[in-house]
Amino acid sequence: MSEPILETKSLSKAFGGLVALDKVDLAIEAGKITAIIGPNGAGKTTLFNLVTGVYPASDGEILFQGTLLKDTPPHRRAALGIARTFQNVLLFGNMTVLENIMTGQHPRSRYGFIGAALRLPKAHREEETISLNAMKYLNMVGLGTYAEQNALSLPLGQQKLLAIARALATEPQLLLLDEPGAGLNKLEKQELSDLIRRIRENRISVILVEHDMPLVMGLAEWVIVLDSGQKIAEGTAAQIQRDQRVIAAYLGEEVE
Amino acid sequence: MLARLKGKWTYFVIAALLLFLILIPFNWSLGQYTVLMIFIGLFTMVTVGLCLLLGYTGQVSLGQATFYGTGAYISAVLSKICGVNPWLAMLIAAVATGAFAYVIGYPIFRLRGNYLAVATLGLGVIVYILLRQLGPGGPDGMAGIPYLSIGGFVFDTSFKRYFLVWFFCLAVLLISQNIVRSRTGRALRAIHGSEAAAESIGINVDQFKVKIFVLSAVYASLAGSLLAHQMSHISPGSFSPLVSIIIVVMAVIGGLASVWGAIFGAATVSILKYELLLGFGEWDIVIYGLILMLVMIFMPEGLFVRLRELYGRWRLRYAQRGAET
């Protein structure tokens, strides 16, 4: 196995007395689609929040592309190449669809207050690149016709695609998707699967937290199972479906 | 279609506005309002800063009069007592006020929402009391502040100062508009939309909040300096917490998400304050409170933005009807 894109070593997080993550060791292979599954409260979203720096770990280490992320704030982690989406989508409701994606280009552009205030040539050039790139990601998720609409006027399925496009616009190496399939109908889930495969083809590693088993089993090349803050199993989709502990802890009757 | 209509509309309004502004001091009947127009210009500068902070970034400040005051007082003290050239005094005031906003910005923006509002209000109260107690002249303020001049040309009449103030005001509006329509402007609006999402796409939320706060302080400081050098007399009352509230009313009427609306907001309230409500004495604040409540309840996006929307819809319907026949 090549160098993992993301590693956690004995990663723990406690909120007061509640242990959300308990000494979790992970090594996420680069360029693959990895799924993290587990019942509610297993610590999946907590893991995402630790990796993106929303709050600090209580103990343990996170390494991204071999570099230790210690007190690196979230915005700098985005610049390093970690992007994410949120369970509750969190689009910018005060912007159009295209502007949402353009904002995602923030870490890949440089000009600031002065460049903007005086409309320096540098700002003009960068704006052109930002617009072009944003259109590229907009078309990649198939929302090209909605560019000028308000982001929140889209139905939920398309809002979720837009959130992915916004994350992609940061040009990440690693994309964390938090329940991308939740609330989507069958057709939308199919579109989502296709999109995630296309993202992988662009050499972006994807980690998804998802409850929808058919979606996970169809997509993921590697599955990690968390339960009560601990890693209880990992393997290919087929292996996980046969794992007795996983069946007991989580999948229950869903697997024969 | 709508975007194109809106674009043309903007240019037309800006051109008409410029023409109107240039003609006012020359017109016989409107000429008497030159001083009023100077105040509208000054308040517009302060209001634009608050629009960027409150309307675009979603961070409330109930203390903008503070920076208006520090700008005026630093300018006045430097030019009158220390004999510094008024232009240099104005520049130093802007830099010092900006630095002041930067230093208090980091701790104050750890607060959110109501807490931030109360903290900025507190800042306004503290600085107001300091100006009253420790400022030169105490509650009576300072007189005899030198006029601004270029070479031998002294800005000693309202007619001349009118153009000076509106030159600065339009520059501030233009700069603000450029910022709004840029990478920085998107970052600010993103913070308003969702701080968590903004951070997740690489926006340094704390830093942007402080930077826009500093910019709004610099705008207010410039307006304060212009006020000091043209009134030649200033007193703490012009920078009281009440003035901060009036600035909020201006921003709200102007439409929080519109740079040009600031002129509309500043003009509406100034005309009320200096003309229509003169007979009300100190009761005028009741009217502002009422306006604030009504606008917040019925058109939270601001009076100006709402009027513009209605106009846009009317134009669209008109165009459609034209196409049908």
Low-confidence ranges of chain B (pLDDT < 70): 1-10, 27-31, 322-325
Q: Is residue B298 part of a domain?
A: yes
Which residues on neighbouring strands pair with residue A21, listed in sequence order?
Answer: A13
Residue B33 is classified by DSSP as: G
The reported pLDDT for the residue numbered A85 is: 97
Domain assignment of residue B22, yes or no: no
For the cut 80, the answer to whether the pLDDT of residue A150 exceeds it is: yes
Whether residues A106 and B203 touch (CB distance < 8 A) is answered with yes
In a domain, B16, yes or no: no
At B153 the three-state DSSP class reads strand
Provide CB contacts within 8 A for A76, sequence distance 6+: A53, B202
Distance from CA of A238 to the nearest CA of B (A): 33
Task: Judge: A116–B182 Cβ closer than 8 Å, yes or no.
Answer: yes
Write down the pLDDT at residue B159.
86
- pLDDT given at position A255: 43
Q: Do A74 and B183 touch (CB under 8 A)?
A: no
Q: Could you tell me which residues are beta bridge partners of residue A13?
A: A21
The answer to whether B204 contacts A73, with C-beta atoms less than 8 Å apart, is: yes
Structural domains counted in chain B: 1
What would the pLDDT profile of A172-224 be if each residue is shown by its tens digit?
A: 999 999 999 999 999 999 999 999 999 999 999 999 999 899 999 999 999 99
Average pLDDT taken over every residue of chain A: 92
* Residue B18, domain member (yes or no): no
Q: Which residues contact B300 (CB under 8 A, 6 or more apart)?
A: none
What's the length of chain A? 256
Which pLDDT value is given to residue B54?
92
Spatial distance between the Cα atoms of B97 and B109, rounded to a whole number of angstroms: 17
At B298 the pLDDT is 79
Q: How far is B7 from chain A (nearest CA, A)?
A: 14
How high is the pLDDT of residue A108?
A: 95
Give just the sign of the alpha carbon dihedral B128, B129, B130, B136: positive
Q: Between chain A and chain B, how many beta carbons pairs sit less than 8 Å apart?
A: 105
Please report residues of B whose CB lies closer than 8 A to that of A123: 182-183
pLDDT of residue B206: 95
* Residue A70: predicted pLDDT: 87
Which pair of tokens denotes residue B324? 């049908």
Which pLDDT score, from 0 to 100, does residue A241 have? 86
Residue range(s) defining the domain that contains residue B250: 2-10+37-319
Pick among A108, A113, A164 to test the B interface (most B CBs inside 10 A):
A113
Average pLDDT, integer, range A138-144: 94
- CATH T-level fold of A6-81+172-254: Rossmann fold (3.40.50)
pLDDT digits (tens, 9 = 90+) for B28-60: 666 678 888 999 999 999 999 999 999 999 999
Note whether residue B19 is domain-resident. no
Chain B closest-CA separation from residue A6 CA (Å): 17
Smallest CA–CA distance, residue A23 to chain B, in Å, is: 25
Give the pLDDT of residue B256. Answer: 79
Q: Count Cβ atoms below 10 Å from residue A120 Cβ, excluding itself.
A: 14
Closest C-alpha to B88, from B101, B69, B75 = B75
* Cα A64 versus chain centre, distance: 14
User: What whole-number distance in Å separates Cα of residue B184 and Cα of residue A110?
Assistant: 10
What's the predicted TM-score (pTM) here?
0.90
Q: Which residue of A has its CA nearest to B199?
A: A75
- Residues pairing with A9 in the sheet: A61
Long-range CB pairs of A75-79, under 8 A, 24+ apart, other chains included: A75/A107, A75/B199, A75/B202, A75/B203, A75/B204, A75/B205, A76/B202, A77/A51, A77/A52, A77/A53, A78/A52, A78/A107, A78/A170, A78/A172, A78/B199, A78/B200, A78/B201, A78/B202, A79/A107, A79/A170, A79/B202
Span A125-144, average pLDDT: 95
Query: Where does the pLDDT of residue A61 fall: very low under 50, low under 70, confident under 90, or very high at 90 and above?
Result: very high
**Strand blocks (E) in chain B:** 142-143, 149-150, 153-154, 233-234
CA-nearest of B248, B238, B236, B202 to B54 is: B248
List chain A residues with CB under 8 Å of B170: none
Of B179, B199, B200, the CB nearest to A116: B179
Percent of chain A having pLDDT more than 90? 84
Asked if the C-beta of A104 comes within 8 angstroms of chain B's C-beta atoms, the answer is yes
B156 SS3 class: coil
DSSP code per residue over A86-140: -TT----TTSBHHHHHHHHTGGG----HHHHHTT-HHHHHHHHHHHHHHHHHHHH
Q: How far is CA A181 from CA A137, A190, A191, B8, B21, in A?
A: 19, 10, 10, 42, 56
Chain A 109-128, residues with CB within 8 Å of chain B CB atoms: 109, 111-113, 115-119, 123, 126-127
Chain-chain contact of A95 with B197 (C-beta, under 8 angstroms): no
Q: How far is A106 from chain B (nearest CA, A)?
A: 6
Question: Tokens standing for A144?
Answer: 């090209």
Q: What is the pLDDT of residue B324?
A: 60
Task: Decide if A127 and B179 are in contact by the 8 Å CB cutoff.
Answer: no
pLDDT band at A251; cut points 50, 70, 90: low
Give SS3 for B56: helix
Residue among A92, A107, A111 whose CB faces B194 most closely: A92
**Taking CB atoms and an 8 Å cutoff, what residues of chain B touch A160?**
none
What's the pLDDT at B250? 93
Q: What is the CATH number of the domain that holds B128?
A: 1.10.3470
d(CA B7, CA B90) in angstroms, rounded, equals 35
Cβ of A75 within 8 Å of Cβ of B194? The answer is no
CA-to-CA distance for A38 and A28, rounded, in angstroms?
17
Higher pLDDT, B143 or A252: B143
**Cβ-based contacts of A116 with chain B (< 8 Å):** 178-179, 182-185
Residue A239 token pair:
């292996």
**Beta pairing class for A6-15 and A82-84:** unpaired
Are A117 and B178 within 8 A, CB to CB? yes
Considering only CB atoms, which chain A residues are within 8 Å of B186?
Answer: 95, 99, 102-103, 106
